[in-house]
Amino acid sequence: MPATLTADQIGERIRARVAPAWDPAAGDGLQVGGAETIVTGIVTAWTPSIDILRAAVAARANLIVSRECPFWSREAEVKGYSGAGRTATRADMTKDATFAFKQQYIDEHRLVLWRLSSNWDARVAAHPVAALARALGWEAFAREPAGRYAVEATTIGALADTIRRRFSARGLRVLGAPGAPISTIALARGLLLVADVQKILRAGDVDLFVAGEPVEWEAYPYIADLVTAGRAKGMILLGHAVSEEPELAEAATWLETLVPEVPVRHLPAGEPFA
């Protein structure tokens, strides 16, 4: 007899098991679609882009578990950085052609979009970049505290090139002299805030920051100033998607054991850049 699990039944398992305690205020959980929808397959993806939704439909999956929000804006949470400006409202959305297209696609295919972000972070709080480090092949270089790595002596340019090839990434950006020698690295994913950099530095200086996305009036100039002051050599920016993608692969592996009745797969969103 085929399994008849609803999106909400699967959601209940996630809520019960993903973290020590589910935080209902974090904006995670059902975003779009019917909670009573019978789930035919689960897809994990960094962001539920239209491309991902199409690939999910092609794979006969109708529950998409993602880190980012269906309609781009993180409405339900504080943005965490200064000068963020006004958040998009429902009124902004309803007059937008891309919103209308995506909403219609979701409705027509009876998709359920479910967000798993802050509660996932609580699950991996002790080692937030472990998945990214595994994707980089850096497990053997891990040092204390978590997020610090001592790679074999190299240069910023050589490392940037290695990472570019490993992730087939077109949108990497690099700060620092290509020939600058580096060994000690702080690895971070997602949005990098000044407070994150300060926390890293409290455990001692590093040669290089490898991170996702800094705000260019906050953590980016902070690290540029560190380089000017001679306290670091540079920074490699992976891009937000590239830096978080490996975790969605691990989320799929975890969901396979949590929901054995339904096929689960990770679909790489890929970086958005041409």
Partner 1 sequence: MTARLSRRQFVFTVGGSFAACSIGGCAQAPTAAALVDRIKRQVGIPWNDTTYRDTFKVGRPDTAVRGVASTFMTSYDVVRKAHAAGLNFIVTHAPTFWSDGDVVADLQGDALYDVKRRFVEANGMVIWRFHDHWHARKPDGIIVGWNRALGWDHFVAPDNDRLYVIPETTLGAVAAHVARVLRTRSVRMVGDPAMRVRRVARGAHTLVGNMAAMPSADALLVSEAREWDSIEYARDTVASGQAKGIVLISHEAGEEAGMDECARWLRAFITDVPVHFISTTDVLWTPGA
Interacting residues toward partner 1 by CB under 8 A: 47, 49-51, 54, 68-69, 72-74, 82-88, 92, 96-98, 101-102, 157, 160-161, 164, 170-175, 178, 194-195, 198, 201, 213, 216-219, 221-222, 224-226, 228-229, 231, 237, 239-241, 272-274
Kindly tell me which of 15 and 240 has the beta carbon lying closer to partner 1.
Answer: 240
Q: Which residues pair with 136 in a beta bridge?
A: none
Question: Residue 8 or residue 161: which is nearer to partner 1 going by CB?
Answer: 161
Closest distance to partner 1 from the beta carbon of 215 (Å): 8
Amino acid letter, 96: D
| Shorter beta-carbon distance to partner 1: residue 204 or 260 | 204
- Closer Cβ to partner 1, 207 or 213, answer by number: 213
The two three-digit tokens of residue 68, written as one number: 């980012």
Q: How many CA atoms lie within 13 A of 49 on its CB side?
A: 13
Question: How are beta strands 191-192 and 29-32 bridged, if at all?
Answer: unpaired
The residue among 142 and 224 lying less far from partner 1, judged by its C-beta, is 224
CB of 221 vs partner 1, minimal distance in Å = 6
Gyration radius (Cα) of the chain, Å: 20
Do the Cβ atoms of 44 and 264 come closer than 8 Å? yes
- Report the distance separating Cα 67 and Cα 47, nearest Å: 6
Spatial distance between the Cα atoms of 215 and 175, rounded to a whole number of angstroms: 14
Residue 233's H or E segment, with its range, is none
Whose structure tokens read 């700060």? Answer: 175
Of 36 and 225, CB closest to partner 1: 225
Q: How far is the CB of 274 from partner 1 (least distance, A)?
A: 5
The phi-psi region of residue 29 (left if phi > 0; otherwise alpha if psi is between -120 and 50; otherwise beta) is: left
Q: How far is the CB of 270 from partner 1 (least distance, A)?
A: 9
Contact predicate 11/35, CB 8 Å: yes
Query: Least distance from C-beta 197 to partner 1, angstroms?
Result: 9
DSSP label at 106?
H
Shortest distance, CB of residue 229 to partner 1, whole angstroms?
A: 5
Residue 27 Cβ vs partner 1, minimum distance, rounded to whole Å: 13
Provide the token pair at 217: 């009036």
Residue closer to partner 1, measured from CB, 182 or 226: 226
Note whether 94 and 4 are within 8 A (CB). no
